Amino acid sequence: MHELSVAQGIVDIVKQHVPEHELQSVRAIRLKIGAVAGIVQDSLEFSFGVITAESPLAGAVLAIETVPFVVKCRQCGRESLNEQGIILCSYCGSSDTNVIAGTEMQIAAIEVEDPSPEAS
């Protein structure tokens, strides 16, 4: 199951960026997933839940933003946007395009609950 390894990768990255004692304060992990990245969001959320269930990250959720598929036309210079991964320019019909978004999977932010004020 592809999403399981993706979810494990997310957990690994969070652990690299958040000190161990703060992992239980992670509230949300903001992801940007391209429309044609080949990731099933429900499946990813489910996998993440399974992996984190018995860990300090059990309280964290995935906040997923879908990034549309965008191609930039080399003929007319305009950007076409769709959810299907169509590489044709929707203005002039050219297939001479560059894919500029929609295939990525990025962690945009890791939201950690504000630490309680230090009693000093």
Interface with Zn ion (CB under 5 A), residue from 91, 98, 104, 106: 91
Of the pair 65, 91, the CB lying nearest Zn ion is at: 91
Interface with Zn ion (CB under 5 A), residue from 24, 41, 94, 103: 94
Question: What backbone torsions phi and psi does residue 89 show, to the nearest 5 degrees?
Answer: -65, 130
User: Counting contacts by CB under 5 A, is residue 71 touching Zn ion?
Assistant: no
Q: Is the Cβ–Cβ distance between 93 and 58 less than 8 Å?
A: no
Please report how close the Cβ of residue 90 comes to Zn ion at its closest, in angstroms.
8
Alpha helices in the chain (DSSP H): 2-17, 41-52
Please report how close the Cβ of residue 77 comes to Zn ion at its closest, in angstroms.
7
